[in-house]
Amino acid sequence: MEFRQILGKILILCGFIYVMTRILITGASRGLGLEFTKQYLDRGDFVIATCRQPEKAKELEKLQKDFGDNLEIEELDVTSEKSKEILYQKLLDKSFEINLLINNAGIISGNEKESSSFGELYKEDFNKVFQVNSVSPILISEKFLPLLKNVSEPKIVNISSMSGSISNRTRSGGYAYSSSKAALNMMTKTLSNELKEMEITVVAIHPGWVKTDMGGENAPLELESSITSIINVIDSLSIADTGKFLDWQRNEVQW
């Protein structure tokens, strides 16, 4: 609010006109998704923040009070076809277009808290992790693609992980999570080929090992720092970057 007014005056005085970016973020009620929401709102952008249970998203409610019409909080279960359809129709009815889709929603395991060790692996665990981490981002991208078609420099960003890099794999464990991120990387690369002629940039980004509920307290990278860096990377992307696997510092990561 006040911050945006000050920022706007500074930009005008410096001869710049800031064009608001419109962003759809999945998994926006906590962790990386919540921090993306905060930082994009802080700089004056419009955010559609989605999560499974908006009524329990207290941090998003606080942001709504501060940023008003610049924040749209919507229900979205990324694994539910009905949920996706309801949100898509709602945005279509409001004539919303988006410049950026961030497929951020993800889980570490079937119980969403800790990975199962070898010897205690379950098919159901793999099914749930792959549905959320690998399948949902491509289906979300497919569903909301019409909202990206008529904007300037549209981008799709899939939040991946170094754990999905087969070339860099040196440790054991984390079977479901790591393989789901490797699958997401393939989805990203393939989608980038699909949408290149439309000039829609599609990339996978590794956010670093970040202090979140998923990353844990021992993670070396602060949440705010990671997201600030990722936003800078996203801002710098062009169609020449489509199909890349990057980290939060814009280094290319081996597949």
* Catalytically annotated residues: 177
Kindly state the DSSP code that residue 221 receives in the 8-state scheme: B
**Residue 234 contacts residue 157 (beta carbons within 8 Å):** yes
Pull the structure tokens for residue 49: 């923040």
Residue 3: CA count within 13 A, CB half-sphere? 10
Pull the structure tokens for residue 108: 């570490």
CA geometry: angle 38, 207, 115, nearest 5 deg: 110
In one letter, which amino acid is 123?
Answer: K
Q: Using the Cα atoms of residue 96, residue 84, residue 189 and residue 194 in order, give the sign of their dihedral.
A: negative
